[in-house]
Amino acid sequence: MTRRLATLILLAAVTPATAQWLDFRTSGIPRTADGSIDRSAPAPRTANDHPDLSGIWVPVDFSGSILNPENIQPWALDEIAEHTSNFFTNDPRFHCLPSGPGAYPAGAPYSGTRRIVQQPDVIAVLNADLTYRQIFLDGRELEENPFPTWTGYSIGRWDGDTLMVESNGYNDETWLHRDGLPHTEMLRITERYSRPDFGHMRIDVTYDDPGTFNSTVNGVIEMRYVADSQLLEVVCNESSKGRSHYSGTAEEAEEKRVEVDAATLEKYVGTYEGIWLGNLISVVVTREDGELYIERTPPYGETGIAHVGKTLLAAQSENAFECCGLGFIFTAEENGVTTEVLEVHVSGAWSFERVP
């Protein structure tokens, strides 16, 4: 179900810091004749002959039995249904809290971009929301009953060219994916990282939580290497307002939907471009059968948000619209000519300027 921002107007229209250093080319990577990254080139290796997982990565796909409702206990399905009906109000990110294990499936933490820094005895995973995770490879073992934390405790070892990671010690305040799948403190996660070539990485994940699942479930996360870019911070800056941005239910949102006249809608039709998380984004707004539609290139599914294709923009006011869990606010000059559209995330509003 679409994640409608029922109180879109209350979102602070604060444009994030402009992207920095995005013209700086990543050194030491294989390139094709036209200068783009050669994703099919061999994966790099460390001095001790393990695959080097270092770099900036973005998830592009998430699948697996964890998404099958038949594997989920009734209480957890009820929670998912409740989260769906109230616009995912209790999503940790909407309260400026860490996403925990939910940061790893595609689309979470809703940019999905992270930087991996690999050393022989520890691997650090840095997220755009300024949270981090440590995976220790120094021979230590997991504790049986650790103090619960947001990101848990992780140890790793190499099995040939595959990095095996075991984690436990999660609190029960986070979700396992963006649709609001809860878990208990019994959760244990096993991950298998493999990098078949330079541009791709696969993470096979096993979730073991007898308090949530009917049996062990799995997930597969496909990752893509990002070059000539930076990990730009995406920080929740609305902690003082909490649920004020996301209130009501889906039914109430439909009741609040407003009608906008055809002449006003026509002013918003056009192409807009801007930078989002180091990606050059093109947003095309069209009008069909009296409604506005939006299509984004690259689509959300390729940049960390699980949505692809042309989608209806639902009017919440004359110039504020909602689609696929995001807000879109059009701004115009005094003469009425639309100059930009703001794509509103929990981190703020990202400006895409209108182009001829």
Specify the amino acid at residue 236. C
Residue 116: strand, helix, or coil: strand
Instruction: Note the pLDDT of residue 255.
Output: 58
Distance from first CA to last CA of the chain, Å, rounded? 34
Count Cβ atoms within 10 A of the Cβ of residue 250 and give its class: 0-12 exposed, 13-18 middle, 19 or more buried.
Answer: middle
Domains in the chain, please, with CATH? Answer: 30-226 (no CATH), 242-355 (2.40.128)
Instruction: Note the pLDDT of residue 125.
Output: 95
Alpha helices in 29-121 (DSSP H): 74-85
Instruction: Note the pLDDT of residue 16.
Output: 42
Helix or strand (DSSP H, E) at 252: helix 250-256
Q: Residues 5, 10, 14, 16: what is their CA dihedral angle, to the nearest 10 degrees? A: -30
Residues (pLDDT < 70) of the chain are 1-23, 87, 104-111, 237-257, 277-279, 298-309, 324-325, 346-348
Instruction: Note the pLDDT of residue 350.
Output: 82
CB 195 within 8 A of CB 43: yes
Instruction: Note the pLDDT of residue 327.
Output: 82
Q: In angstroms, rounded to a whole number, what is the distance separating the alpha carbons of residues 54 and 46?
A: 10
Instruction: Note the pLDDT of residue 298.
Output: 65
Token output for 315: 């009017």
Place of tokens 């180091």: 278
Instruction: Note the pLDDT of residue 171.
Output: 97
What are the phi and psi torsion angles at 300 (to 5°)? -55, -35
Q: In angstroms, rounded to a whole number, what is the distance separating the alpha carbons of residues 209 and 193?
A: 21
Maximum CA extent, the chain: 67
Q: In angstroms, rounded to a whole number, what is the distance separating the alpha carbons of residues 216 and 48?
A: 34
CB 283 within 8 A of CB 341: yes
pTM of structure: 0.72
Instruction: Note the pLDDT of residue 157.
Output: 98
DSSP string, 24-56: SPPSS--B-TTSSB-TTSPPPB-TTS-B---EE
Instruction: Note the pLDDT of residue 302.
Output: 39
Q: In angstroms, rounded to a whole number, what is the distance separating the alpha carbons of residues 104 and 229?
A: 20
Place of tokens 């973005």: 58
CB 148 within 8 A of CB 171: yes
